[in-house]
Structure 1
Amino acid sequence: MPSRVLLIPPDTRPPTLELPAALARMTGTDVAVPPPAALPDFHTPGDTGLLGRWLEAEAPMADVLVVCLETLCLGGMIPARRVSDRLDTALGRLEVLRRIRDVHPSIQILAFGVIVRVAHDNDPHEEKPYYGQWGRELRAYSTAFDRHARHGEGERSALDAAHAAIPADILADWLATRERNRTLHLRALELLHAGVLNHLCITLDDTSEYGLAAHDRRLLEARADALGVWEHLDIYPGADEVPCALIARALHPAPARVWVRYSGLDGARTGMAYEDRPAGELVRAHLRAAGCVLADTPAEAEFVLAVNTPGVRQAHRQPDYATVDTAHRHLPAFVDALRDDLRAGRTVSVADIAYPNGAEWRLWTLMQTLPLAQLAGYSAWNTAGNTLGSAIAFGKLAAAVTDRSAHTGALFARMVDDALYQGQTRAEVRGRLVAPSPFDLGDQRAAAEAHLRELITPRIRALWDTHFAGTGLPLEVGRAHLAWPRLFTGVFPLTVGGRA
């Protein structure tokens, strides 16, 4: 088991920084992260020079490096979509990994990059400012370009119309940013081929069947074919969860067999809102990234991945009786099976992907009859990929847990964020505000945080008293607040004390 990990995350939100660090610490592994001044703050880029110097200074004391390429080379996952840094500058920053490999040949270097998304919303803060005005037209161009590339001249008129609808300078800038970042990923493939990297994940954030992200994916896959690097490469839909997956891969390198239990008999075929493939293929991709394989029976599995899928396809508003809560699944039977797994002593990690961006409240209510503190993992946040990668990492590392309080804290934190906040409280806070923007709360942020603390603090304590008091571990609850000036991500300071 490695004793020290260096982590360069995509940003500083709790699920992308604190969760992967907590997963490592629950196995007794020391985790070091860069100083705050080096890391991005929302769309403000981090200090790439400081990051590189920090890496070279810390590498002699480390066994594993898990690094987000966008943070290292462009200041962060979101800044990478906004900054105007030159390609040669970004590639020069990447060379620090080659220098570290030359000086420290035994260190494991696991890296990941995120193909530039085509955002579903007209967000002027996570994207370039012009996306707030031209997002719809850029999305139409993205789809038309890929359809033309795949299906030929029959799609030419749609592509020409989409091209004509966008100012030339905006389209050129948007495409140049994509090309720069794709070239960075192509260089990372070369580092993988050269042995500088031990493993590489290139993921697609908020993707769909057609679009420029799918086009980039095919280009990268073709280069991977030419280099023959697939044994150490994963390209699949994901983003925020990849640090968790790579930490699980590094700290538990042996392949883990996993029995996947879906909430519906056809769960593997259900459709996702932010991914380009059905749930079953998405699960297989995330299992491989973390170093897991499918088991043939529960008895031979190292852990059970319990996946709550929609009846047919994900939807955004709960309850949705058209595509999610349908006769294609039976949640009481799913919960009964989880209870039986726990009684049989199986390791169980739950991934709730029925709805994006929070737990399905019907399932969460049914799960209150389970001994939640006995779960190895729980996740229900953001995209299906974010949820799956987090839950799989919990499951794979369960056998390596040496710090019970750290594991309990990580598990409880996900329930607080994914169920209590994302699944319940966030909508209530929004309802108390005056027409809040989903992109920037502006002068309503303070009021939002006050409402957040009022609503969620007693719920946190009630959840602990009901399901975790029996662990004998003490809980301290800090002041809840928002990670960024929007409701999308909350921060819930929790300290679970003691060691067992």
Structure 2
Amino acid sequence: MTPFRVLLIPPDTRPPTLELPAALASMTGADVMIPPPGALPDFHTPGDTDLLGRWLEGEVSTADVLVVCLETLCLGGMIPARRVSDSLDTALERLEVLRRVRDAHPSLQILAFGVIVRVAHDNDPHEEKPYFGSWGRELRAYSTAFDRHARHGESERAALDTAHAAIPADILSDWLGTRGRNRALHLRALELLHAGVLSHLCITLDDTSEYGLAAHDRRLLEARADALGVWAHLDIYPGADEVPCALIARALRPDVTRVWVRYSGLNGPQTGMAYEDRPAGELVRVHLRAAGCVLADTPAEADFVLAVNTPGVQQAHRQPDYATVDTAHRHLPAFIDALRDDLDAGRTVSVADIAYPNGAEWRLWTLLQTLPLAQLAGYSAWNTAGNTLGSAIAFGKLAAVVTDRTAQTGALFARMVDDALYQGRARAEVRARLVEPSPFDLGDQRAAAESHLRELITPRIQALWDAHFARTGLTLEVGEAHLAWPRLFTGVFPLTVGGRA
């Protein structure tokens, strides 16, 4: 039988956005094809969109499904899409390749996703246009004031006028022009969905908040979706980097999957998120739908258990946080007891740790060491709550169709290394050894950072394997850890999990 063949065009080349979705597909026995390196972006350097289009048209004849990031296809990558000056006409012309390949191959499923331009929380001149480093605060204030005025009317006019006056006209015009171009790209994608070119479309909000231009764009897109009647095959929600995982899970296990969500606190669904515009429970629901999942009424009828570690009240950035995260609103030992009972009962369990953004909660990770971690179907604790949830849900949904246990173990272990050992602990330790490092560009401290990283994390990787995975009979080879980009935010941990010894 010919393996299911997936073409994957990711938002960029970081391990969670490229290697993880590819690994999830591979563990089900699917063949995964990715574009040649020159076609994909390198940090804020755009990929070669012409090369990418040629690669797609050359490979698509034997593919069953295409999972594609619209920003990579049309503007050179998710981050370059915030920075490049390519015209809307050029972007829309590149988008037409999807119509051509669908017309030529009617059985091809095209699962696409786009990312509404974020309003960055940080004054980052590298992921955003360079002027954001100087004017980020003012642009965020304008974003909030504009949306408040749009929603609440003239009572917000003075705040909007003040925010508008604080920004040079050319900078505001350029920023709004970039947003308008990308919004028009997403509106055209909605038309492709309506025409049947796309099988499913996700439009996500990266690093969003209750008020802002991203929320305003969301409402415009939702109104167009209403007019086109495409909601059966559309999701618009907070997320970004994890969407390739969700869409691969949707494609490779197309049946609706029932999920029992177990929260670490009874108030879990109501807890607040730092980078999303809705509470945890609503965030879970939208991520389940994107992957083709629904809530189960009982654990017994569920295909898998999604174990969600929520904060007591609200996410916080530094741990431990006893004011809003580690509060009396949850009881982690009882959460661990419930997960042990789930595993003992033979239930499929995938863990999503969203108590803190950007890494595992160390208290939970310590308690998890009492469980047989190799028996988990999935684990995730990286970046935003949406990033974590989408990845953990994809692990859980695909667990029933895994054919390569070695690949599944490798994908699971890689997330534990990155999300817990690095994001949860070692990243801060490396930062502490450097001299006032910039969060945006390490400059000449990159080599020292990577040396410290290898010294700290390599023995911990081996110790985690020995404690929880050595009894699987599989083997582990650990390569040299390094950084994906010239900043501490994303590490790369080459790991090779081999067949039984």
Q: Common fold, TM-score beyond 0.5?
A: yes
Partner of 1:390: 391
Q: Is the 8 A contact 2:296 2:302 kept in 1?
A: yes
Partner of 2:303: 302
1:191-340 counterparts in 2 under 5 A? 191-340=192-341
SS for the counterpart of 1:298 is: coil
Aligned AA (1:351): A
In 2: Cα distance, 1:300 partner to 1:230 partner: 27
Q: Is the 8 A contact 1:8 1:68 kept in 2?
A: yes
In 1: Cα distance, 2:108 partner to 2:468 partner: 40
Aligned AA (1:84): S
In 2: Cα distance, 1:123 partner to 1:414 partner: 26
Aligned AA (1:174): W
Q: Is the 8 A contact 1:122 1:134 kept in 2?
A: yes
In 1: Cα distance, 2:64 partner to 2:500 partner: 25
Provide closer, same or farther for how the CA distance between residues 425 and 289 of structure 1 changes in structure 2, counting only shifts above 3 A.
Answer: same
Deviations along 1:176-215, whole A, 9 cap, x unmatched? Answer: 0000000000000000000000000000000000000000
1:143-182 counterparts in 2 under 5 A? 143-182=144-183
In 1: Cα distance, 2:171 partner to 2:304 partner: 49
Deviations along 1:29-48, whole A, 9 cap, x unmatched? Answer: 00000000100000000000
In 1: Cα distance, 2:422 partner to 2:369 partner: 16
Q: Is the 8 A contact 1:430 1:436 kept in 2?
A: yes
Q: Is the 8 A contact 1:5 1:32 kept in 2?
A: yes
Q: Is the 8 A contact 2:28 2:402 kept in 1?
A: yes
Give, in angstroms, the shift of residue 270 of structure 1: 0.1
Partner of 1:46: 47
Partner of 1:29: 30
Aligned AA (2:102): R
Partner of 2:81: 80
Give, in angstroms, the shift of residue 53 of structure 1: 0.4
In 1: Cα distance, 2:296 partner to 2:41 partner: 39
Aligned AA (1:122): N
- TM-score of the aligned structures, taking structure 1 as reference length: 1.00
Partner of 2:418: 417
In 1: Cα distance, 2:48 partner to 2:440 partner: 24
Give, in angstroms, the shift of residue 2 of structure 1: 6.3
In 2: Cα distance, 1:18 partner to 1:482 partner: 15
In 1: Cα distance, 2:289 partner to 2:267 partner: 21
1:89-168 counterparts in 2 under 5 A? 89-168=90-169
Q: Gaps spanning 5+ residues in structure 1: where?
A: none
Question: Does 1:489 pair with 2:490?
Answer: yes
SS for the counterpart of 1:436 is: coil
Q: Is the 8 A contact 1:264 1:328 kept in 2?
A: yes
Give, in angstroms, the shift of residue 498 of structure 1: 1.2
Deviations along 1:58-92, whole A, 9 cap, x unmatched? Answer: 00010000000000000000000000000000000
Aligned AA (2:245): C
SS for the counterpart of 1:475 is: strand
Deviations along 1:143-171, whole A, 9 cap, x unmatched? Answer: 00000000000000000000000000000
SS for the counterpart of 1:120 is: coil
Aligned AA (2:296): A
In 2: Cα distance, 1:272 partner to 1:49 partner: 39
In 2: Cα distance, 1:365 partner to 1:475 partner: 22
Q: Is the 8 A contact 1:122 1:133 kept in 2?
A: yes
Deviations along 1:414-440, whole A, 9 cap, x unmatched? Answer: 000000000010000000000000000
Q: Is the 8 A contact 2:53 2:73 kept in 1?
A: yes
In 2: Cα distance, 1:499 partner to 1:213 partner: 49
Give, in angstroms, the shift of residue 300 of structure 1: 0.1
Q: Gaps spanning 5+ residues in structure 2: where?
A: none
Give, in angstroms, the shift of residue 405 of structure 1: 0.4
SS for the counterpart of 2:261 is: strand
In 2: Cα distance, 1:449 partner to 1:237 partner: 32
Deviations along 1:296-322, whole A, 9 cap, x unmatched? Answer: 000000000000000000000000000
1:452-491 counterparts in 2 under 5 A? 452-491=453-492
Provide closer, same or farther for how the CA distance between residues 31 and 457 of structure 1 changes in structure 2, counting only shifts above 3 A.
Answer: same
In 1: Cα distance, 2:109 partner to 2:8 partner: 12
CA RMSD of aligned residues (A): 0.8
Deviations along 1:268-296, whole A, 9 cap, x unmatched? Answer: 00000000000000000000000000000
Deviations along 1:341-362, whole A, 9 cap, x unmatched? Answer: 0000000000000000000000
Aligned AA (2:213): L
SS for the counterpart of 1:300 is: coil
Identity %: 89
Partner of 2:441: 440
Q: Is the 8 A contact 1:2 1:64 kept in 2?
A: no
Q: Is the 8 A contact 2:473 2:500 kept in 1?
A: no
Q: Is the 8 A contact 1:101 1:196 kept in 2?
A: yes
In 2: Cα distance, 1:353 partner to 1:116 partner: 23
In 1: Cα distance, 2:470 partner to 2:3 partner: 32
Partner of 2:406: 405
Give, in angstroms, the shift of residue 499 of structure 1: 6.6
Aligned AA (2:15): P
Q: Is the 8 A contact 1:2 1:251 kept in 2?
A: no
